[in-house]
Structure 1
Amino acid sequence: MKHRTIAGMPVSALGLGCMGMSEFYGATDEAQSLRTLEAAFDAGVTLFDTAESYGNGDNERLLGRFLAGGRRGVRIATKFGIVREPGKYERRIDNSPAYIRRAVDGSLARLGIDTIDLYYVHRVDPRAPLEDTIGTLADLVRAGKVRAIGLCEVAPATLRRAAAMHPVAAVQSEYSLWTRDPEEGMLAACAELGTAFCAYSPLGRGFLTGKFDGATPLAPDDFRGFNPRFTGDNLQANLRIAATVRALAAGKGCTPAQLALAWLLAQGGHVIPIPGTKRESYLRENLGAVDVTLTAAEAAAIGAALPPGIAAGQRYSDEGMKGLNA
C-alpha cells in the first residue's frame, strides 16, 4: 500500500468508505462487512471513513466491533451535523456547540475509542456562525477527544475562513470522473493550505465501474433508485460515460474502477479517494488502482474525454443537496 498524509498522519493512499455497510445500498450483512474491514486492514488500508448519521449510529458501532480487536495504525474519520430520524432520508443540519459536544461523545462511545483522528463537519449550516463551530471543534482538540478537524462539501471561501481560525486537516467532497466540482478552486485551496482532499463516491456510486447496466432493477432500499443521475433520460445519457471509462480502461489494461481511482490519485499528492464497498472482491479490485500509473499526458487525456459537466442530472435529490457548497 502506498501512503499519503493528513495533518502529518500517514494514511493509506486509498481509504475505505464504510457507509454502504449499514445503509443506502440495499441489504446489509454485518458478517460480510466485518470480513471486508479485516481484509482492508490486512491489505494495508489505514483510513476508515464513517459518520454518526450512517445507519443512525449503526455504522460507527460496526467499526467499533472491528476496532475492538486492536488495530494499530488505523485512522478513523467520522462526522457530525446531519440529523435524521430513523428510517428516513430527510435531514436537518445542526452545527450548534451543544449538539457538537453531544455528538462527539456519542461517536466516541459507539466507536469504542478515546480520540477521533479526523472529525468532520458533515454539512455546514449557513445559519450557524462558523466561528462557533470551529471554536467548539478547537475545544475538542484541546480536550484530546479529536486529533484533527475537517469540513465536508464546503466552498473554498469557507475553507479559508475556517483555516484562519484553526488548521483544517481535510476537506471531503464528492469527486470523480463525472463530478468535477472540486476543480473549481477547492483542490487548489487545499494544496495551498496543506489540507488533504478526501474524495468520496470516487466511482460515481458504482456507475463508473461499468457494472451498472440500467436494466437490472435496484433494491427498494437502494437510494440510487431515486438519484437523478440513475433515472429516466439522465440514466440513458450517463451510460455513455460508463462506456467511455470502459474503453479507456481496456486501453490501459486495468478495470474501469481502477482507472477511475488512478485518475483521482494523479490529481495531486493531497488527493485521497475513499471508495466504499461492503464486498471483499470489490475492495481488492479497488486497491489494485495504486499499481496503475498514469503519465501526466494520460491523466489529461482521460480528463478531456470526460470533461466537467458531462454527467446528466444533479448529484442528489433536492433533499440530499441540502448544505452542499456551503
Structure 2
Amino acid sequence: MSERIETRQLWADGPAVGAIGLSCMGMTWAYGTDPGADDPGAVIGRAVTLGMTLIDTSDVYGPFTNEELVGKALVGRRNEVTLATKGGLAAQFTPDGNPDASRMPRPNGTPEHLERAIDGSLRRLAVDHIDLYYLHRPDPQVPVADSIGTLAEAVQAGKIRAIGVSEFSVEQLDEAAAVHPISVVQSELSLWTREHLETTLPWCVRNGAGFVAFSPLGRGFLTGAFREAAFAADDFRASLPRFQQENLQANLAIVDAVEAIAARYDATAAQVALAWVLAQGENVVPIPGTRRISRLEENAAAAALRLSADDLAELDALPAPAGTRY
C-alpha cells in the first residue's frame, strides 16, 4: 500500500481526514490486557504517518488516562490530526476514590459537568483547542438544548471547533441541530449493527454531517479471531449478549461469509468488514481500535479495497446477529 491512505471530507466545510481513523479507547479501557500490544504512543504515531488522522478518545476512557496518552503521543504532530474527544459520561468511583471499572459510566449532560469536562480534556490533551467535541451520550435528565448550548458556548470561546454527538436518535439530532450545527454523529455501525443505515445516516446526509462508525469490526468479532466465548474477567465483551457461547456460535455464520468474500480479494475479514462500512457513504469514516501496529496497518489497507456490487449485495443480505448489543 502507499504510505498514506486516501482522505474524505467528513462534514461540510470540515477538514479532510483519513478514510479510516483510530479509536484509542481499547488502549486503556474495556478490553483487558493484551500481552502482544505495542507501545500506545507508537501505535498512534504510526496511524498518523499512515494518514489515519481522525484520532478518537474520551475523558471517560481510563477514566482520564486515555486522553493523557493521546496528548503525549501527539506532541509535535498536533497539526497533522483532527483530534476528537468526548464528554457527558461520568465515571463511577469506589468509596476510596478509585475508578470502579465494574460499573458503567452514567450520563451527565449538565452544563456544569460539561464545562468542567471540556477544560479537563484540554488540560490532559495539552492542547489549546479540540477539533471535534462530542456529547458522549444524551442525558435523559437534561434537555438536549441545555447540553448542546454549553458546547456552543465552548465553540464561541474557541475551546472547541466543531460539535458532535454520539448515539443520538433522529429526534434528538433535530433538537441538537436547532441549537447549533452538528458536524458529526458517532454511532455503532458494522456488518452486525446496521440499524443506523435507515435512520441516522440519512439524517447526516441531509444535514451535511459526517458519520463516524465505532466498533466497525464488531468489537473484534468480524475479524474471525473469536470462535469460542473465552474472555478475561476484565474484558467487557464477556458480559455482552452477542459474545455468549450460544449466540457466538450462531454469529459465526456472519464471519464465515465475510471470510469467503475476503478470499476472493486476497484480503482479510477485517479489511472486508471495513470496506463494507466505507461503502455506505462518502461521509462515513470507521474508527477501528487496535493496540498492535500490525493490525493498524492491516486496517489502513482496507481503505484501498473496493468491493464489487455483487459482493456488497451479498454482505447486505447477511442475517441479523443473535443477541442484542448490550
Relative to the length of structure 2, the TM-score reads: 0.92
In the alignment, structure 1 residue 236 sits paired with structure 2 residue 249: yes
Deviation by residue 1:45-94 (Cα, 9 ceiling, x = unmatched): 11100000000101000001111233422111111111122132322110
Structure 1 gaps, min length 5: 317-326
Structure 2 gaps, min length 5: 93-98
CA distance in 1, matches of 2:203, 2:77: 36
One-letter amino acid of the structure 2 residue matched with residue 149 of structure 1: I
One-letter amino acid of the structure 2 residue matched with residue 5 of structure 1: Q
Q: Equivalent residues in 2 for 1:1-326 (5 A)?
A: 1-7=5-11, 8-27=14-33, 32-85=39-92, 86-88=99-101, 89-214=103-228, 217-304=230-317, 306-307=318-319, 310-316=320-326
Q: Which moved more, 1:183-192 or 1:143-152?
A: 183-192
Deviation by residue 1:171-217 (Cα, 9 ceiling, x = unmatched): 000000000011131111100100100000000000000111216x3
Distance 1:283 1:76, change over 3 A: same
Distance 1:224 1:204, change over 3 A: same
Alpha-carbon distance, 1:296 to partner: 3.5
**Which secondary structure state, in structure 2, belongs to the residue aligned with residue 54 of structure 1?**
coil
Aligned pair count reads 312
Task: Confirm or deny: 8 A CA contact 1:53 1:83 kept in the other structure.
Answer: yes
CA distance in 2, matches of 1:108, 1:287: 28
Alpha-carbon distance, 1:232 to partner: 2.9
CA distance in 2, matches of 1:31, 1:245: 27
RMSD: 1.5
**Which secondary structure state, in structure 2, belongs to the residue aligned with residue 55 of structure 1?**
coil
Task: Confirm or deny: 8 A CA contact 2:165 2:182 kept in the other structure.
Answer: yes
One-letter amino acid of the structure 2 residue matched with residue 161 of structure 1: E
CA distance in 1, matches of 2:38, 2:203: 40
CA distance in 1, matches of 2:132, 2:233: 33
Deviation by residue 1:77-122 (Cα, 9 ceiling, x = unmatched): 1111111221323221100001000000000000000111110011
CA distance in 2, matches of 1:246, 1:301: 12
Task: Confirm or deny: 8 A CA contact 2:48 2:80 kept in the other structure.
Answer: no
Which ranges of 4 or more aligned residues in structure 1 deviate by more than 4 Å? 28-31
Alpha-carbon distance, 1:126 to partner: 2.0
CA distance in 2, matches of 1:10, 1:62: 24
Distance 1:28 1:57, change over 3 A: farther
CA distance in 2, matches of 1:190, 1:15: 18
Q: Which moved more, 1:3-12 or 1:278-287?
A: 3-12
Task: Confirm or deny: 8 A CA contact 1:114 1:145 kept in the other structure.
Answer: yes
Alpha-carbon distance, 1:28 to partner: 5.9
CA distance in 1, matches of 2:287, 2:104: 24
**Which secondary structure state, in structure 2, belongs to the residue aligned with residue 72 of structure 1?**
helix
CA distance in 2, matches of 1:24, 1:116: 24
CA distance in 1, matches of 2:100, 2:251: 29
Task: Confirm or deny: 8 A CA contact 1:21 1:28 kept in the other structure.
Answer: no
CA distance in 2, matches of 1:299, 1:240: 17
